Structure 1
C-alpha cells in the first residue's frame, strides 16, 4: 500500500523522476535554487524538498466528509532548499525563510516552548476563538495570523508538525530543533485550484524533517501515510479545515497513474491506470489540460462563508440524517470525531443497518449500491420537510430550502450549549440559511461519480488490448461534466468565469470539463484526446475572455497539458 511506503530520499534526480528528459528539466531548476541559496546564506544547502501540486480529476468537496476522491499529482511543484545553521550562531529552532519571488519578503522566526498548564491552554483557546481561528493544542508557539494571508504562514504550519511530533515538551532527550535557513520557489500558481497551499505545507514539513535528520533516522515510523496526516493537521493551522485529498495526492502521487484515495476507516490509496484512446498506443492517450480561470481564490480568504461553511453544513446534515435513521448513542461515540459524525460514517451505519451481512470497512461495490439507496434519505433534509417534521413555521419564501441555525439546533437533539461547542466552537462560519439538502445531495452523487469513474478505469485496464476506448473516455467525460453541474448548482462552489470556461472547453473538443480544487475561482481540468490537445488549447486561448491580451508566457502558465506525476520527495545534495 502506497501509504505504508517510506518517504523517498534521493541522491540523484535520475532516480526521482520517471524519464531522463523530465529529470534533466528539473535538474536545472534544482541547480539554480541551490546556487541562489548559497548566494543568499553564504553556505550550500544540504537538502531540497519537493512537493507537487495536484489536479482532482473528480470528487470535489467530499474528502472532508470521508468519501474517496480521484486526484493525480502534476509536474508543477514547490521546491525548498534548506540547511541547518550552527547552534552557536542562532537560537534553537530559529528559521531564516526566504522566497525567490521578490514580492514575498524574507522572514525570520523562532518557535517557543510554552507551558501546558490548564489555565494557559484555556486562555489561548479563548483568544483563538475570539479571532475566529481554529484552535489546535501544541507544545510550541509560532505566530500565524489567520486573518491575513502570508506566504510564511504555510512554512510555519509545516514546521509545527515537526515540532509537535518530534520535539515534544515531555521528551527527556533534551534535543532541540536545529536552526535552519530555507529558500522557497515553485511554479504551482497560487489560488488557482491546483493546491499550491498543500504543496507548500508538504514541502515545508519535509524540509524541516530533513534538516533535523528525521528522514534518515531509523525506526521513527515516518511513512508517507504519516506525512499525509501531519500535513493535514499542519494546514489547519492557517485556518482551513482541509479534508486530506490535496496532501495525499501531493505525497502519494505516482508517475503515470491516478490515485483513488479513500479516508475511511483509514487512509488508503489505490493506483489506477487511466485508459488510452487506443489501448497500447501512447500517442493516443487521454491528456488532462489545466485551464486557469484567472479568478484567484485562496481557501483561507472568505473561508467562513465558503470552504469552512461547507464543512460545517455537511456535518450538520450528517447529524440530522443520523437522527432520522435512529442510530444508537454508541454510534456517535465511536465516530472519528466523537459526537460529530461525518456523512461517510452515517452512510456506513445505514449500510450496516439495512444490508444483511455487510461488514466494515464496506467494500467499494457495496458502498456504491448503498449510496444509490441512501439518495432517498437525503430528501428529509429539505428545509420544508424538516420544518414540517419539527412543527416549525414555514418561511414566507417557500422556495427557501435552507435552515436557520436555531432550527437546526432544535432538530439536532442537543441542547444549545453542547451543540455550539461540538459544531461551532472550532471553526468560524457565517450564514443565515444553512443549505443542508443541496450540499448533501452533491456529496452523495459526487461520491457515486467517483466510484463510477474508478470502475470505468479499472475495467478498461483489464480489457483486452485491442479496439478503441473512446466510449470509455466519453463516459469519463460525462461524469466530469455531471460533477461540474453539481458543483455549480448544488454545492455553489463554482463562479461565472469557471462556468463559462468549462463550457468553452467542452465546445473546443474536451470530452469532459470541470472545476478542480476548492472552487470559487482557480482552475478547470478537461479530458482531451492527445491528438486534439494542440487545437483544443489554441481554441480556448482564443475564446476565453480572460486570456485576451495576455503575453504568450502568461498564456502558457494559464493553460497547459499534464499527465500524472511523481509525488513528494527529498533530494540530498552531495559534495
Structure 2
C-alpha cells in the first residue's frame, strides 16, 4: 500500500529523471538549480527535494463531504536545493544566520527576495524542561511562509524534548507550477519544504516511521500554519502519485490512496483561464458557502432518511450514506463498504435528495431562506448558528441544499465510474482501437462533471465554461474545471498525437491568450502526463 512506502531518496540522476516523465527538460532545470545554488552559497547542495503540483481529473468539491477523488501529480513541480551551513566557531552571536536552526532561503524568481529566519526555542513544560519551538508565520500567502510551515512541523515533531538542535540551512527554491492556478503550488511548496528539512537533518534515512502516509499527514498539518485548511487531496496526490496513473484517494473511514492506470493514447492538457479567484475575497459567497450548504444538506437528508444525528454533530454526506446503510468496518483503519455497494447506494441517492427542496418551493433554483433552512434542520436557531454559522462567514439570502447535494452524489458516482473504466482497461490489455472507446467514455464523465459544477454546484465561471467548450471543439475527449473553480485551470483529455494542434487551436480561439507565445504561452497551457510523487535527490 502506497501510504506505507518510504519516500524515494535517489542517488543516481538517471533513475530520478526516468521517474519524472518527458514533457519538461528536467535535466536543464536541475542542473541550473545546482549551479545557481553553488554560485550563491559557495558550495554544492546536499539535497534537492522535489514535490509536484497536482491536477484533479474528476471529483470536485466532494472531498470535504468525505467522498473519494481522482487527482494525479503533474510533471511541473517545486524544487528546493539545500545544504547545511557551516557556522564559524567564533562568530557574532547577534547575527541571525549564525543561530542554531537558522535558515537563509532564496528563490530563483527575482521578484521573491531573500529571507532569513530563525526558530526560537520555547520552554513548553518548565517542570521537565521540555523545549518546543516558535516560528512566526503570518497568515499571508507569501512563498516564504510555506517554507516556514514545512519547517515548523519538522521542528515540533523531531526537535521537541530533545537535546539535538536543528542544523542551520541554506536553501534555493524554484518552481514550474503556475501560482494561483488551482494546481496546488502551495501544497507542493509545503511538501517540498517539509522534505528538505527532514533530509537536511538526517531524518529521512534514519527514521523508518517517515512513510508517504506520514509525510501527507505532516504536510496537511503544516499547511494549516498559513491558514489553509486542507482535506488531504493535494498533499496525497503530491506525495503518493505514481507515473501513468490517477490516484483514487478516499477520506472515509480513513485516508487511503490507490493508483488506477490511465489508459494509453491520451495526455492531459492544463489550461489557465486567466481568471483569478481570490479565495480570501470570494469565500463568503463561494467556497465557505458551499461547505455550509453541503453540511446542512447532509443533516436535512439524514432526518428524512431516519438517520440519527447529534445536536452538535456536523455530519457529512458520506457519513449519512454510511449510517443509512448500517455500514460496517468503519473503525480505525477500516475500509468501509466495497466500491460496488457504494456505487449502488449513490445511484439511489438521486431520488433521496429531492427531500432537500424547500417545502412548497417551485423555484427552479430551489433555494431555502435562512428560516426555512433552520426549520428543515430540526435545530433551534441558536443551535443551528452554533453548529453551522459560528465558525465561518457566509453571504447569502438563499441556500441551495438540493443542488449542492445533487452535485456531490452524482460527482462521487462519476469518480467511481471513471476509476472502474481505468481498472477495466488495464485488466483487458491493449485495445484494437487504441483505447479510443474507453477514452471517449472518460471524456464524457469529465464533461458531465463540468456541467454539474456549472449548473448544480455553481463553482464555474464564464471563462471556464468558454475554455472547456473550446477544448472540446479543438478535439479533447473531455474537458472540465480543476481545483476549487470560480477561475483557475481546466484539464482536458487529449489524443496524444493531436496535442500540438490542440494547444495551437485553443491558444488561437481563447481571447485571453491573444498575443501570448513562447514561454508566456507555455506558462498558461501545457501538456503533462501523470507523474511520480515527491522524492529527494542526495548528492555524493
Candidates 213, 228, 238, aligned match of 1:250: 238
Q: Secondary structure at the match of 1:371?
A: helix
The correspondence of residues 279-298 of structure 1 with structure 2, limited to 5 A, is 285-297=265-277
Distance 1:161 1:422, change over 3 A: farther
Q: CA distance change for structure 1 residues 411 and 112 in 2, over 3 Å: closer, same or farther?
A: farther
Match of 2:413 among 448, 455, 473: 448
- Where does the alignment leave 5 or more consecutive residues of structure 2 unmatched? 90-96, 126-130, 329-333
Structure 1 residue 158 displacement after superposition: 1.7
Residues 268 and 419 (structure 1 numbering): CA distance in 2 closer, same or farther, change over 3 Å?
Answer: same
After TM superposition, the structure 1 = structure 2 runs for residues 368-407 of structure 1, keeping only pairs within 5 Å, are: 368-382=343-357, 384-385=358-359, 398=363, 401-405=366-370, 407=372
Shift of 1:80: 0.6
| Residue 342 (structure 1) aligns with | 316
Q: 1:419 to 1:297 in 2, by over 3 A?
A: same
Deviation at 1:114, TM superposition (A): 5.1
Tell me the residue number matched to 2:7: 7
Decide whether aligned partners of structure 1 residues 530 and 93 sit closer, same or farther in structure 2, where only a CA change above 3 A counts: same
Q: 1:202 aligns with which of 168, 191, 201?
A: 191
Distance 1:114 1:374 in 2: 52
Using the TM superposition, give the Cα deviation of residue 260 of structure 1 relative to its aligned residue in structure 2, in angstroms: 1.5
**Cα offset, 1:557, TM superposition:** 2.2
Paired position in structure 1 for 2:156: 164
Matches within 5 A, 1:406-417: 407-414=372-379
| Pairwise CA distance, 1:252 | 0.8
Task: Give the alignment partner of residue 181 of structure 1, picking from 141, 163, 170.
Answer: 170
With 153-162 and 411-420 compared, the bigger mean Cα shift is at 411-420
Q: 2:427 aligns with which of 456, 459, 462?
A: 462
Please report the TM-score for the alignment, with normalisation by the length of structure 2: 0.89
Distance in 1 between residues matched to 2:478 and 2:448, nearest whole Å: 9
Change (3 A) 1:402 1:64: same
How far does residue 16 in structure 1 lie from its aligned partner after superposition? 2.0
Give me the whole-angstrom Cα distance separating, in 2, the residues matched to 1:205 and 1:299. Answer: 24
Tell me what 1:59 maps to. 59
TM alignment of 1:290-369, pairs within 5 A: 290-297=270-277, 299-300=279-280, 302-328=282-308, 339-352=313-326, 361-369=336-344
Shift in alpha-carbon separation, 1:73–1:174, aligned structure 2, 3 A: same
SS in 2 for 1:16: helix
Shift of 1:406: 5.3
- Distance in 2 between the 1:431 and 1:174 partners? 53
Contact 1:149 1:301 (8 Å CA) reproduced: no
In the alignment, structure 1 residue 495 sits paired with structure 2 residue 495 = no
CA contact (8 A) 1:154 1:235 kept: yes
- Kindly provide the CA deviation profile for residues 37-62 of structure 1, in whole angstroms up to 9, marking residues without a partner as x: 23223333211110011111111111
Q: In the alignment, is residue 155 of structure 1 matched against residue 163 of structure 2? A: no
* CA distances 1:106-128 after superposition (whole Å, capped 9, x unpaired): 222233455769xxxxxxxxxxx
Aligned length: 521
- The Cα of 1:437 is off from its aligned counterpart by 2.1
Q: How far apart in 2 are the matches of 1:547 and 1:570?
A: 36
- Residue in 2 aligned with 1:555? 521
Q: CA deviation at 1:453?
A: 0.6
Which structure 1 residue ranges, 5 or more long, are not aligned?
A: 118-137, 277-284, 389-393
1:267 equivalent among 229, 235, 255 = 255
C-alpha change, 1:84 and 1:341, in structure 2 (3 Å) is farther
SS at match of 1:272: strand
Q: Work out the CA distance in 1 between the residues paired with 2:292 and 2:338.
A: 27
Mapped to 2, the partners of 1:445 and 1:401 lie a distance apart of: 18
Assess if the C-alpha contact under 8 Å between 1:224 and 1:251 holds in 2.
Answer: yes
What is the CA deviation profile of residues 515-561 of structure 1, one whole-angstrom value per residue up to 9, with x for unaligned ones?
Answer: 11121211111111122222222211111111111132211222222
TM-aligned CA distance change 1:443 to 1:293, over 3 Å: same
Contact 2:20–2:531 (CA<8 Å) still a contact in 1? no
- C-alpha distance in structure 2 between counterparts of 1:218 and 1:201, whole Å: 20
Cα offset, 1:404, TM superposition: 4.5
Q: Secondary structure at the match of 2:53?
A: strand
Query: How far apart are the structure 2 equivalents of 1:190 and 1:66?
Result: 26
Contact 2:63/2:69, CA 8 A, preserved across alignment? yes
TM-score normalised by length of structure 1 = 0.84
Q: CA deviation at 1:177?
A: 2.9
Pair 1:41 & 2:41 matched: yes
Name 1:192's counterpart in structure 2: 181
Name 2:506's counterpart in structure 1: 540
What is the CA distance between 1:411 and its match in structure 2?
Answer: 4.3
- What SS does the corresponding residue of 1:462 show, helix, strand or coil? helix
Aligned residue for 2:226, secondary structure, equals coil
- Please give the alpha-carbon distance, in whole angstroms, between the structure 2 residues aligned to 1:24 and 1:482: 31
CA 1:434–1:162 in structure 2 vs 1: closer, same or farther (change >3 Å)? farther
Tell me the equivalent position of 2:128: none
Q: Distance in 1 between matches of 2:521 and 2:135?
A: 38
> Tell me, what secondary structure is at the counterpart of 2:249?
strand
- SS of the residue corresponding to residue 49 of structure 1 reads strand
Q: Is the 8 A contact 1:7 1:569 kept in 2?
A: yes
Deviates most, 47-56 or 310-319: 310-319
Cα deviations by residue, 1:74-111 (Å, 9 ceiling, x for unpaired) = 11000011223346753333222211111112222233
